[in-house]
Amino acid sequence: MTAIRRFLPSWLSSYAGLYILFLYLPVIFLPIFSINTAATPKFPLSGVTLHWYEDLPKTPALIDATWNSLIVGVSASILSTVLGILAARSITRYRYPGRRTINGLIMAPLVLPEVIVAISMLLVMLQLGLSLSLFTVVLGHVLVCIPYSMTVLTSGFEGFDRSLEEASADLGESAFGTFRRVTLPMVAPAIISSLLVCFTISLDEFIIAFFLTGTEATLPIYIWGQLRFAAKLPGVLALGTLLLFASFVLMTIAEILRRRAARRTQNEGGLYA
Amino acid sequence: MTAAAEGSPPLRVAGMRRSPLLQSEAVQGFALISPTFVYALILLVLPILVVIAHSFWTQNYLTIDHTFTLENYRIALTEPIYRDLLWRSLYISLTVSLLTVVLAYPIAYFISFHGGRHKSLWLFLITIPFWTSYLLRVMSWKVILGYNGVLNSGLMGLGIIDEPSTALLYNSSAVIITLTHAWATFAILPIFVSLEKVDRTLVEAATDLGDGPLRSFLRVTLPLSVPGVISAALIVMIPTVGDYVTPKLVGGKDGVMIANAIQAQFGKASNWPLGAALSVTTMVIVSLMAGATVLIIRALQRLAR
């Protein structure tokens, strides 16, 4: 018995190590092959070059796609965070009938097949006579970003001590003043974290953009177009590496802020309440 | 995630009192959530209703004929190509959800029971790959499994095979591997959450009463974590059935899934009503399969006790 007990954790931790390797291995090949001189990704590397990276800024279509992605990402993250703040505040602060149903509906895009979500939005937009553009992509991205925004914001808002706001009101602060000087500083990290998460999702999102865009390509759509040509692969790998790096940095910052928000609302609230 | 979450705490009805205060609280809460709610109604519920309506119509070139018909469903369910695609998509999503859950359980267990101080670091490590572009992750699997890919050149370098194997890429196994990797995080998190809720004193009690580690796991920990297992299975199963990118990039001819056919109806083939009927059929069948999975897992849970 004791043998099993001692053996089990070590077996589990080596399994955990292997699992992490399985999760990270595919991702690691992108940067490795992006500095390879040969166009086909195979070992051993034929030589090291930054050539593929130097070519990136010289591609006008790529520059356009980057701008489009930035426009869509910034608009989608702001819109979905605003809608996320309203919903998360309502869910964590108030109790009312139908609350869980509404919450379930708002979170539903998370578990629905993306293709079906995308084609149904496409049908409605065409019926309404909206012409497909970056605007329609933003509308679609907001829908899929809200659930993530909600998750981040609810964890920041939960445990938020209401008595702090009440104290502020009792001490003569106006509703807006209370919001600006008490509520906002407490939840600001969660809000920034939500903006970063939504921006990252929008930056990487392909299916919805693919169906809902007109002629303008976002970065994933540009990559999709390039994938047809084997010779373009190294350029795509270089671009992919930069995107990976951007996502990684943004998500790390978002996670640090989310934790700070969760700590702030719980510990400080508890301490000063 | 909440939609599929099982065993979440029930609404705290006990604390509610019928009073004017509650009334105003309900009104305020509802007013606050209504913009987001309306957004979801217009861009999710309305579109799905429009798709359902389209599935009963027919298309003559560019105009839609609004007479009610079940013809699209007949085609979706009896035409061999759609039937095969549907079966394959269901088979792939079922296999992927089974694999992800089985592979994810030990790691969720490890983090929850042996993660110690580093629990949140482990969770962060696991979520990071998920935050990188899905398209790029699928592409890297193509790089690994390809004819001139990493796996083939690696195996040849080690002298295990003489010439590159074509069996790795462009089939349904490649799709299953890629999807199992892509959805790992989604399976780990719900299982982890339900394992965190397992009362550790119950496990200790089982051990004190003479159960070995394996028996106490099978009779206490595993049954108590069933809600997490169910959410994980559903969270993976329902979206993967409609995956488009993976079959298109690594599936080849034998790995095409229903989403590729749906996309074709809205693109090249331009038969919206048929595309709509295929979407509705897929959703209905995957929901039935999800329901059956829940029942089977629950039955197994009862057997374990």
Ramachandran category for residue B252: left, alpha or beta (phi over 0 → left; psi -120 to 50 → alpha): left
Burial grade of A135 (CB within 10 A; 0-12, 13-18, 19 or more)? middle
Supply the ipTM of this predicted assembly.
0.84
Please give the C-alpha separations between residue A3 and each of A9, A202, B23, B207, in angstroms, as whole numbers: 11, 50, 61, 15
pLDDT digits (tens, 9 = 90+) for B87-105: 999 999 999 999 999 999 9
Domains of chain B: 80-304 (1.10.3720.10)
pLDDT digits (tens, 9 = 90+) for A83-118: 999 999 898 888 888 889 999 999 999 889 999 999
Q: Do B140 and A206 touch (CB under 8 A)?
A: no
Asked if pLDDT for residue A159 goes beyond 70, the answer is: no
Residues B95 and B177: beta-carbon distance below 8 Å: no
Please give the C-alpha separations between residue B185 and each of B13, B92, B130, in angstroms, as whole numbers: 33, 18, 7
Give chain A positions within 8 Å (CB) of B43: 121, 124, 139-140, 142-143
Q: What SS3 state is found at A36?
A: strand
Return the bridge partners of B60, or none. Answer: B63
Ranges A141-150, A188-197, B66-75, B156-165: which has the least confidence: B156-165
Asked if pLDDT for residue B14 goes beyond 70, the answer is: no
Nearest to B238 by CA among B285, B278, B177, B193: B285
Residues B36 and A83: beta-carbon distance below 8 Å: yes
What phi and psi, each to the nearest 5 degrees, are found at residue B4?
-100, -10
Nearest to A142 by CA among A72, A219, A234, A80: A80
Q: Could you tell me where the beta strands, DSSP code E, fall in B18-118? A: 58-60, 63-65
How close does chain A come to B154, measured CA to CA in Å?
Answer: 7
Beta-carbon contacts of B56 under 8 Å, excluding residues fewer than 6 positions away, are: B68, B69, B70, B72, B273
**Average pLDDT in the B163-167 region?**
76
Residues B234 and B227: beta-carbon distance below 8 Å: no
Q: What is the per-residue pLDDT for A85?
A: 92
Nearest to A75 by CA among A140, A150, A155: A140
Q: What SS3 state is found at A264?
A: helix
Residues 174-193 of chain A whose Cβ lies under 8 A from any Cβ of chain B: none
Q: State both tokens at A163.
A: 């008595």
Considering CB atoms only, which of B107, B128, B149 is closest to A19? Answer: B107
Q: State both tokens at A121.
A: 């939005």
Beta-carbon contacts of B164 under 8 Å, excluding residues fewer than 6 positions away, are: B147, B148, B152, B153, B156
Asked if pLDDT for residue B240 goes beyond 90, the answer is: yes
Quick one: what percent of chain B has pLDDT higher than 90?
39
Instruction: Tell me the count of A-B CB pairs closer than 8 A.
Output: 270
What is the pTM (predicted TM-score) of this model? 0.85
Considering CB atoms only, which of A113, A124, A220 is closest to B47? Answer: A124
Q: What is the per-residue pLDDT for A202?
A: 94
Q: Does B234 touch chain A (CB under 8 A)?
A: yes
Residues 206-265 of chain A whose Cβ lies under 8 A from any Cβ of chain B: 206-207, 211, 220, 223-224, 227, 236-237, 240, 243-244, 247-248, 251-252, 255, 259
Q: State both tokens at A182.
A: 């008490």
Q: What is the per-residue pLDDT for B154?
A: 77
Asked if pLDDT for residue A78 goes beyond 50, the answer is: yes
The whole-angstrom separation of Cα B254 and Cα B217 is 40
**Average pLDDT in the A33-42 region?**
78
Q: What is the per-residue pLDDT for B158?
A: 80
Please give the C-alpha separations between residue B265 and each of A119, B83, B262, in angstroms, as whole numbers: 10, 15, 5
Q: Do B136 and A223 touch (CB under 8 A)?
A: yes
Please give the C-alpha separations between residue A76 and each of A84, B57, B258, in angstroms, as whole numbers: 12, 34, 29
Instruction: Please tell me the total number of residues recorded for chain A in this structure.
Output: 273
Q: Do B103 and A19 touch (CB under 8 A)?
A: yes
Residues B72 and B55: beta-carbon distance below 8 Å: yes
Q: State both tokens at A174.
A: 């106006």
Element containing residue B60 per DSSP (H, E): strand B58-60
Q: Do A30 and B11 touch (CB under 8 A)?
A: no
The whole-angstrom separation of Cα B129 and Cα B126 is 7
How close does chain B come to A272, measured CA to CA in Å?
Answer: 26
**Average pLDDT in the B46-50 region?**
94
Please give the C-alpha separations between residue A167 and each of A48, A162, A178, B224, in angstroms, as whole numbers: 63, 9, 9, 42
Please give the C-alpha separations between residue B17 and each of A95, B14, B23, in angstroms, as whole numbers: 11, 8, 10
**Average pLDDT in the B263-290 region?**
90
Q: What is the per-residue pLDDT for B127?
A: 84
Residues A120 and A161: beta-carbon distance below 8 Å: no
Q: State both tokens at B286.
A: 């995957």
Q: Does B108 touch chain A (CB under 8 A)?
A: no
Give chain A positions within 8 Å (CB) of B2: 100, 103-104, 107
Q: Do B4 and A255 touch (CB under 8 A)?
A: no
**Average pLDDT in the B237-243 region?**
91
The whole-angstrom separation of Cα B72 and Cα B281 is 10
Instruction: Using CA atoms of B227, B233, B235, B241 in order, give the dihedral in degrees to the nearest 10.
Output: -160
Give chain A positions within 8 Å (CB) of B131: 200, 204, 247-248, 251
Give chain B positions within 8 Å (CB) of A113: 238-243, 259, 282-283, 286
